[in-house]
Structure 1
Amino acid sequence: MKEGPDIARIAALIGDPARANMLVALMSGKALTATELAAEAGITAQTASAHLARLLESGFLSTRKQGRHKYFSLASAEVAGVLEALMGLAAGAGHLRSRTGPRDQALRRARICYNHLAGDMGVQMFDSLVSNQYLASGEGQLRLTETGRTFMAGLGLDIDALAAGRPALCRECLDWSERRSHLAGSLGRALFARFVELDWASVEKATRIVTFTPSGARQFQAMFGG
């Protein structure tokens, strides 16, 4: 009998089209009800309930109740990272579910990946942070440098508080459209939340597209454009 992690079981759970659609819908970072997820998957509420039970049992999802409603969300950033990597493999192999168009271009330019910025602008930000030596890698670990701490403090981020929590402060996430890294971890989450707080950007929850205001785009380019 073979030993080790059972990736075939995990792949089978994700590989069902209805479950895959529900998981991708939750990549927006927003918690959704079973009814909303059933609509995303194009299945009945009863069928969705069975799929959600399997995903919960396997540790893909977490739930919380508010009033009469039960909400589902991805269990962790690690689950989101796996889904984003699979999207990259699918895109690289030409397995796309629809024709490209303006909305696809917008999704590739900037989108939310669970709770951090992805797409061309996410990769641009990551490359800028590395080239300015705010981020450094070594021994397979991504870390924030002292100059990076000063830079983030200037944006109003409390790095000590972020580093004390979960998940890791800095983590690379493979971008499915760019096939290059963008920034995940608690720092990636906090940076995007700060952009929203500053009214630089907003998220279209139905598609995960991130739209920058003209002023926000200028501020972003001034900070990460070179």
Structure 2
Amino acid sequence: MGEHVLEANFAPVAALLADRARAAMLSALLDGRPLAAGELARAAGVSAQTASAHLGRLLDGGMVTVVKQGRHRYYRLRSAEIAQVIEAISRISPPVEVRSLRQSRDAKRLHVARTCYDHLAGEAGVAFFEALLGGGLIEGGETGGADGAYEVTDKGEERFGGIGVDVAEVRKARRRFAGHCLDWTERRPHLNGALGAALTARMIEIGWFERGRTRRALSLTERGARGLADSFGCVLPE
């Protein structure tokens, strides 16, 4: 009989994440949107040639994938699972030393509201998740207390439909439906999965949140503050 593999070999993945330039590129891609090699080179503070080499390693390691649009090539994280790994490492990593007023402002914006790959995170994400649970719009299944497996209630399906999110369509996505991940800054859970992504995309689309200059940061609009309170009982500071 063959031997069973009892442990995962995570050393190659750890080696990919151990380089500062590659870590900066992966952090930039947590925005959820594809970025060109030049944009990633600037985010990492390296030359185009060096960035190309790093991206080659990330591609070979299965951390990123290429999106082609005409003659252009863009890079994005391979999956939401990769984003969760990066966020998890961020929680046990020391914070970046703030050396300028701009860095201080950027850090505050990310703390308040940001995207975690494709779903809402930060203070806003945590408050939104708590409002959905507290309001009976989602409920935890048997594994809800561990890594999060959640179902939408009839009430939730109606409320989500009210802002244009079709839960039946969301279920068709080839990824986990609804779970949670521990927020990097808040140390409390926010909603992830296909449901978290669909709700976040819709809230941006209808102008409840706006993307800012700071990568990944989101700004709550007046319309969004009213909408979150009226539709989900979620009150956030503007």
Q: Is the shorter-chain TM-score for this pair beyond 0.5, marking a shared fold?
A: yes
Partners of 2:178 and 2:195 within 8 A in 1: yes
Gaps of 5+ in 2: 144-148
CA–CA distance in structure 1, aligned partners of residues 159 and 225 of structure 2: 19
Q: Name which of 177, 190, 211 aligns with 1:203.
A: 211
Q: After the TM superposition, which parts of structure 1 deviate over 4 Å for at least 4 consecutive aligned residues?
A: none
- CA drift of 1:131 comes to 1.0
Show the counterpart of 2:221.
213
Specify which of 141, 147, 152 is matched with residue 144 of structure 1: 152
| Residue identity opposite 2:116 in structure 1 | C
Moved more, 146-155 or 15-24: 146-155
Deviation at 1:149, TM superposition (A): 1.6
- What is the alpha-carbon distance in structure 2 between the residues aligned to residue 224 and residue 54 of structure 1? 45
Instruction: Using the TM superposition, give the Cα deviation of residue 205 of structure 1 relative to its aligned residue in structure 2, in angstroms.
Output: 5.6
Report deviation, 1:62. Answer: 0.8
Q: CA deviation at 1:127?
A: 0.5
Percent identity between the two aligned chains: 41
1: CA distance between counterparts of 2:79 and 2:204? 22
The equivalent residue for 2:135 is: 132
Secondary structure of 2:17 counterpart: helix
Query: As a proportion of its length, which structure holds more helix?
Result: 1
Q: Which of 48, 52, 77 is the aligned partner of 1:49?
A: 52
State the secondary structure of the residue aligned to 1:28. Answer: coil
Does residue 1:168 correspond to 2:185, yes or no? no
Contact persistence 2:106–2:214 (CA under 8 A): no
Report the aligned-residue RMSD: 1.8
Alignment of 1:62-211 (within 5 A): 62-90=65-93, 95-99=94-98, 101-140=104-143, 141-204=149-212, 206-211=214-219
Count the aligned residue pairs. Answer: 222
SS of 1:101's equivalent? helix
Between the aligned partners of 1:45 and 1:211, the Cα distance in structure 2 is: 31
- Aligned-pair CA distance for 1:76: 0.6
Question: Normalising by structure 1, what TM-score?
Answer: 0.91
SS at match of 2:92: helix
